[in-house]
Structure 1
């Protein structure tokens, strides 16, 4: 499980860097085409919007796996004894997995299914919107994996991550 965790983190990091780089190039091209060439490209705004969706959702899944980057109020948690901190972290991870399953995997999966079934295409790129929204259930599964991974670490008394 540790190897899968590391490979998944490296893969997501690479994807985030790639998506962000493409987003920067897209926006730079949009500015150049609008102000230098005098005619705005038709696809740049839509591509920027879609890549920002992917960057945000994938980044949230990545930060969930890191456990250090999430904004949290842990003042009261750190005041608990170590054993109760472990139990509280387990409960938090369970709720995160339930949320990811219900909202992201099931709800996002339904969104993908409906948009693909209806044949909705993006106006400029003519990409099926189901492919754009597919990142939601994928990241839901990633978050569930990370939650299970962190719960497993919580049960390991020899691990000092928490």
Structure 2
């Protein structure tokens, strides 16, 4: 029960975060275009800020896609497999996804730490660049969690039993 509440809270936070990023990126770009064409001036930081918002959007959005099971996959071959082999293939693919996300999280964290140590800054805003790079380990950790959840459900067959209960 507590884990369900934490999962719902995290899901809400992910959705709210990417929605906020989309809304603010759209608003900033719109205002910048109006400022440029109507007032002959623009905000120097706008395009850079939106670029970095999109970086965060991609990595946190990857977690949302993993949660919803909508990452791109090749399903044509899987449909020809018998049910047991199909399930084993799904478990193997999800395990590989978890492993990849863990490696990405580790190396992304090292990259952000190294960038912080060197004090690198963004070009227009002069913001610490490690904050942008932090999207890599944060997004990878969230994706690893979401793929792990799906791996558990697939390996135990929990979601299949729930579907069968809904049908009956």
Structure 2 partner of 1:14: 16
Distance 1:158 1:105 in 2: 28
Structure 1 partner of 2:26: 24
**Contact 2:60/2:142 (8 A) holds in 1:** no
Structure 1 partner of 2:37: 35
Distance 2:139 2:6 in 1: 15
Q: 1:70 to 1:28 in 2, by over 3 A?
A: same
> How do 1:6-155 residues align onto structure 2 when only pairs under 5 Å count?
6-67=8-69, 69-102=70-103, 104-155=104-155
Deviations 1:81-136 (A, max 9, x none): 2222221111101111111111x211111110111001111122221000111011
Which runs of no fewer than 5 residues in structure 1 stay unpaired? none
Distance 2:84 2:8 in 1: 27
Runs of 4+ in 1 over 4 A off after TM superposition: none
Deviations 1:51-82 (A, max 9, x none): 11111121122101210x22222122122222
Structure 1 partner of 2:166: none
TM-score in terms of structure 2 length: 0.88
Structure 2 partner of 1:4: 6
Aligned residues: 160
